[in-house]
Structure 1
Amino acid sequence: MTVLVRALRPGNTSDAEAFAAVRRACVPAMLATADSVLFDLAHAHPGSRYRQLAAEADGEIIGTAQVGIAHDSPEPGQGFANVYVLPGRRGLGAGSLILRTAEEYLAGEGAVTVFSWVLDDPANRAFAARRGYRASRSAHFLRLDLACGPLPPRQEPPAGVELRTGADFGDDPRALFDLDAETVADEPSDVAAEFTDYEHWLAETWNHPLVDRGLTSVAVVDGRPAAFTLARTDDAARYASGMTGTARAFRGRGLAKLAKNDSLHRARAAGYAEAFTGNDAGNEPMLAINKWFGYEICATEVRHVRSLG
């Protein structure tokens, strides 16, 4: 069996459907559709040098990689390559070939370090270690049964707080960009991020096909968005929290919990059956909030890093 690696063809729906299917099979908690795969490629920031690679065996896409430069990090030269191979097609050399191709591409784009998320099981961690990657921080995927599991009762906003939806900010979401940028800057991570490009945020985040503005909830205090949960949904009745956070000046008041509870209740009413989210393993406050909602850890990834010499 011959395995080859190539770039995903822009605008090719069959490529995108196969790419999304690999992602869903390997990491079910990460929403992926053909539309979202095509959108990600078409709207990637030029500075990210983003590529989607496919490992193909006899015409079938059996592995994928998302590859690029962390353009929004204050530290230059940090690349990423997240590789997934269908569970039933491992051992054919697809993972090794796609990773090697990704590293060569990143080196040519000026990367000196490569970060890669690796599923936390012995085989995947051994694969990374054999290729010179060392383990760093970990992150959990969490799942909530929206169809049958209990949710905390809906809460009335405290005095001075109003709950609104993302759709209410559809024409002018600048305040949500500012809130997202502030919360992302405080997220625990190996690779720091700074959101400074509003126009790109509009293109890449706000207008993403998975973002559901109607199910996005925003807690507003004195006309200012103070906390939010960004909802993402797919066509398989699955809901995910793209980001949940609170502005620094309003933390400690339970506003993120208020916004997320509102969004989850409305997602259930809309017919969504599963809810997913992800947290850095060291983000204890958010893990505690999600445990309060009834989320349970369903998978863990460990970020690995390798110098390109």
Structure 2
Amino acid sequence: MAMIVRDFEARDAAAVVAVRRAALPFEVVTEASLRFTAERANPAERYRLLVAEREGEVVGAANCGLAFESPEPGRAHTTPYVVPGHRRRGVGTALLRAAEEHLTAHGATEVYCWALEGSGGPEFAARHGYRPARSAHFQSLDLTASPLPELPEALPPAVELHTAAAWQGDPRPLFTADAQVTADEPSDVGAELDDYEDWLTRTWRHPLFDRELSTVATVGGEIAAFTAARTDGRTRYFTGMTGTLRGHRGRGLARLVKTDSLRRARAAGYTEAFTSNDGANEPMLAVNRRLGYEVRATEVRHVRAFG
């Protein structure tokens, strides 16, 4: 059967969502979020969303782009997703090669990709010259059955809880907080957030970002910690980032903001909560264990050098 790899079109959104959910059931993705990412990508990323089509059916997809926020030039990312029934039939290879050609043509010297353990992903990556780097753990929490911790009857001195919507008029303080915790996040591809307008476009206005369910803790009126929620508007909730600013760590604020957000998500009718943490981020993994999350799968980031 003939197969083609081509660029994503808006009409592919439903099919690509189905591919992503079949290949990686622990994330939150919608048709609107796919279209948004493809349309609003920063030009410096050289972002492409590729689809593999066989006999008119979309059977795989791969996003790829330059890690333009990394302080080290030449780094890039891609991850192929293939419907389980079509694996080991050349779909992933075709997507990966198309992505690599695009990235190296725009200066990539190292390409990183994620591979889910137990899916054949790490073996696929090894066959294509990628070596394992660091791991991350997907965790989930059943909001319909799992008990959630109670919020304390009294918050610590000078601590107040808000939703991200409280900064609707001026989100810049949230950008500043996000930039600090992102710089400290464990990763083999670091990021420096220094473009406020780009952050407004791709983070603050992202269709999955739920300002009402994202919780922010302030101390003396200044942002000290936050958790950013992403939702599909129906049942699925994902913690995109939870961070505590330097000088406020070790006080339980990360657990506090996550508890508040989860409780409000459950009250809003969300039934499944997901998150992902770097395998070396033991403080956040411990917070999630105390909240009732369980590890469901591990993915390993792989890297291949070019040039």
Structure 1 SS opposite 2:211: coil
Structure 2 SS opposite 1:73: coil
Which residue does the alignment assign to 1:2?
2
Does structure 2 conserve the Cα–Cα contact (< 8 Å) formed by 1:3 and 1:92? no
Q: Report the CA distance between 1:236 and its aligned residue.
A: 3.6
Partner Cα separation in structure 2 for residue 237 and residue 123 of structure 1: 29
The Cα offsets for residues 230-284 of structure 1, whole Å up to 9 and x where unpaired, read as: 0111034011101000000111111111111000000000110010000000100
Q: Report the CA distance between 1:123 and its aligned residue.
A: 2.0
Structure 2's unaligned 5+ residue stretches are: none
Across the two proteins, how many residue pairs are aligned to each other? 306
TM-score, normalisation: structure 2? 0.98
The answer as to 2:63 corresponding to 1:61 is no
Structure 1 SS opposite 2:247: helix
* Matched residue type, 1:3: M
Which residue does the alignment assign to 1:251?
249
2:136 pairs with one of 139, 144, 149? 139
The answer as to 2:201 corresponding to 1:199 is no
Which residue does the alignment assign to 1:225?
223
* Matched residue type, 2:256: L
Partner Cα separation in structure 2 for residue 282 and residue 212 of structure 1: 27
After TM superposition, list the pairs within 5 Å mapping 1:180-199 onto structure 2. 180-199=178-197
Structure 2 SS opposite 1:193: coil
Structure 2 SS opposite 1:88: helix
Q: Report the CA distance between 1:69 and its aligned residue.
A: 0.1
Structure 1 SS opposite 2:126: helix
Partner Cα separation in structure 1 for residue 63 and residue 246 of structure 2: 32
The answer as to 2:37 corresponding to 1:40 is yes
* Matched residue type, 1:275: A
Partner Cα separation in structure 2 for residue 81 and residue 234 of structure 1: 23
Which residue does the alignment assign to 1:214?
212
Partner Cα separation in structure 2 for residue 59 and residue 157 of structure 1: 57
- List structure 1 segments (4+ residues) > 4 angstroms apart after TM superposition: none
2:74 pairs with one of 74, 77, 84? 77
Partner Cα separation in structure 1 for residue 255 and residue 76 of structure 2: 34
TM-score, normalisation: structure 1? 0.97
Structure 2 SS opposite 1:55: strand
The Cα offsets for residues 49-108 of structure 1, whole Å up to 9 and x where unpaired, read as: 000000111111111101000000000010111111011111221101010111011110
Partner Cα separation in structure 2 for residue 256 and residue 123 of structure 1: 34
Q: Report the CA distance between 1:26 and its aligned residue.
A: 1.0
Q: 1:143 to 1:284 in 2, by over 3 A?
A: same
Partner Cα separation in structure 2 for residue 61 and residue 204 of structure 1: 26
Which residue does the alignment assign to 1:127?
124
Q: Report the CA distance between 1:18 and its aligned residue.
A: 1.1
Partner Cα separation in structure 2 for residue 214 and residue 123 of structure 1: 38
The Cα offsets for residues 7-32 of structure 1, whole Å up to 9 and x where unpaired, read as: 102xx2x3111112111111111111
Structure 1 SS opposite 2:261: helix
Identity of aligned residues (%): 55
Structure 1 SS opposite 2:114: strand
Q: Report the CA distance between 1:169 and its aligned residue.
A: 0.7
Which residue does the alignment assign to 1:98?
95
Q: Report the CA distance between 1:121 and its aligned residue.
A: 2.2
Q: Report the CA distance between 1:122 and its aligned residue.
A: 6.4
Partner Cα separation in structure 1 for residue 237 and residue 50 of structure 2: 26
Does structure 2 conserve the Cα–Cα contact (< 8 Å) formed by 1:140 and 1:278? yes
Partner Cα separation in structure 2 for residue 143 and residue 68 of structure 1: 28
Partner Cα separation in structure 2 for residue 235 and residue 151 of structure 1: 21
After TM superposition, list the pairs within 5 Å mapping 1:237-276 onto structure 2. 237-276=235-274
The Cα offsets for residues 192-246 of structure 1, whole Å up to 9 and x where unpaired, read as: 1100001100100011000110001000111111100001110340111010000
Q: 1:296 to 1:43 in 2, by over 3 A?
A: same
Partner Cα separation in structure 1 for residue 47 and residue 303 of structure 2: 18
After TM superposition, list the pairs within 5 Å mapping 1:293-308 onto structure 2. 293-308=291-306
- Decide which moves more: 109-118 or 15-24: 15-24
* Matched residue type, 1:21: A
Does structure 2 conserve the Cα–Cα contact (< 8 Å) formed by 1:157 and 1:258? no
Structure 1 SS opposite 2:189: coil
1:27 pairs with one of 24, 28, 37? 24
Structure 1's unaligned 5+ residue stretches are: none
Structure 2 SS opposite 1:249: coil
* Matched residue type, 1:249: G
Q: Report the CA distance between 1:308 and its aligned residue.
A: 1.4
